[in-house]
Structure 1
Amino acid sequence: MADEGPQGTKRDFLFLATGAGLAVGTAAVAWPFVASMAPDAATVAAGAPLDVDLTPIQDGQIVNVFWRGKLIFVRKLTEKEVTDMKAVPLSEMIDPAAFDTRVKAGHERWLIAYGNCTHLGCVPIGHSGNYEGWACPCHGSQFDAVGRVRRGPAPTNLPIPPYAFETDTKLKIGEEGGKAVA
């Protein structure tokens, strides 16, 4: 009986050491496969807020940028467009939205909107159509200068992404009220 005690301890140690070695080996082999499923740095950066310098954008100009892989229209409205868009009766709209709900207070000259038609996701062409805005070449939807749908099969206005003005000439898409949007 005295021989079984030390032998049992030695056997238990061998089982434990073998099990630990197999666990470490399995983890070492599995780690590259698990790590390959994580997003790469470009993908992680794509979700980060996007800074846009507004300085070079002229009155009436539309600039296309991409945030999180989605097209965003950045449009500097002219004074006439602001006046005209404020005067449009809500009864003439498919998806009624007041001018003030489409732009930020203090920055009425800037429209920031997703750049895909809300009908089937086509990219509408800027400065075309009957309403000083965009027209979808695929199915004929038309949007006014602040992205409100006015004609065609599109059911809703161009959505507004989260954004904030850091200064009068710097826009951050992907933030709302200074806080990053996840």
Structure 2
Amino acid sequence: MASVEHIDGTGPSGEDGVRRRDFINIAAVSFAGVGAVAVVLPLIDQMNPSADVLALATSPVDLSAIQPGQAIKTTFRSQPLFVRQLTPKEIAEADKVDASTLRDPQTLEERTVDGKKQWLVTMGVCTHLGCVPLGAGEGENRGEYGGYFCPCHGSSYDTAARIRKGPAPKNLEVPKFSFTSDTAILVG
């Protein structure tokens, strides 16, 4: 004989039990959840960086050919990167500036690696509108503060690549980098 379910959900003996409708609801919600995960995971995964982007995530730079007072231009993540070996005079000029008087206050120590104060690594992109400043190449205009000069709108940076004059709101960006030896760095 088939059992009869009462309207209140109790069985013939009056006991509460898992109703068939409850099981179907739970199964439907579970199935929908699994389906949603199957759709969402590939969408999230496609936001991960591709292999070619990951390959550009770090860039090694050889410092052995850079003499004191010289700079090189290279690229990092498809943007210009300036690497300069500061002279003792340039370091002294940067150190004598009171950082609290600057628009974007930073000391040279904050912009370099401990014990390697002579190596200044910055992105070669003006913080005003993204032009490439002069000063890294031989004979280029370094501006009145001896660092970098942006020809687009006249921003001048000092020897520590800190903004000193012009419309740029911030110092040239210092990317994350580390020394892999005394003559090589890894940027990124």
**So what's the TM-score if we normalise by structure 2?**
0.68
Compare the two structures and name the one with the higher helix fraction.
1
Q: Does 1:142 align with 2:152?
A: no
Using the TM superposition, give the Cα deviation of residue 51 of structure 1 relative to its aligned residue in structure 2, in angstroms.
1.1
Which of 122, 126, 129 aligns to 1:113? It is 122
Give ranges in structure 1 of 5+ residues lacking alignment: 1-37, 175-182
- Among candidates 68, 77, 93, match of residue 59 of structure 1: 68
Indicate how the Cα distance of structure 1 residues 50 and 91 shifts in structure 2: closer, same or farther if over 3 A, else same: same
2:28 is aligned with 1:45: no
Deviations 1:39-70 (A, max 9, x none): 876444222x1111111111111111111111
Tell me if the contact between 2:93 and 2:159 (Cα under 8 Å) persists in the aligned partners: no
Whichever of the two has the greater Rg, that structure is 2
> CA contact under 8 A between 1:95 and 1:148: conserved in structure 2?
yes
Aligned residues: 137
User: Structure 1 segments of 4 or more deviating over 3 A?
Assistant: 38-44
Preserved CA contact (<8 Å) 1:65 1:72: yes
Query: How big is the alpha-carbon RMSD for the aligned residues of Structure 1 and Structure 2?
Result: 1.9
- In 1, the alpha carbon distance for the partners of 2:78 and 2:179 equals 21
Q: Using the alignment, how far apart are the partners of 1:63 and 1:161 within structure 2?
A: 15
| Structure 2: gaps of 5 or more residues | 1-47, 136-140
Q: Percent identity?
A: 43
| Cα distance between partner residues in 2 of 1:54 and 1:90 | 28
Mark the CA change 1:39 to 1:165 in structure 2 (over 3 Å): closer, same or farther: closer
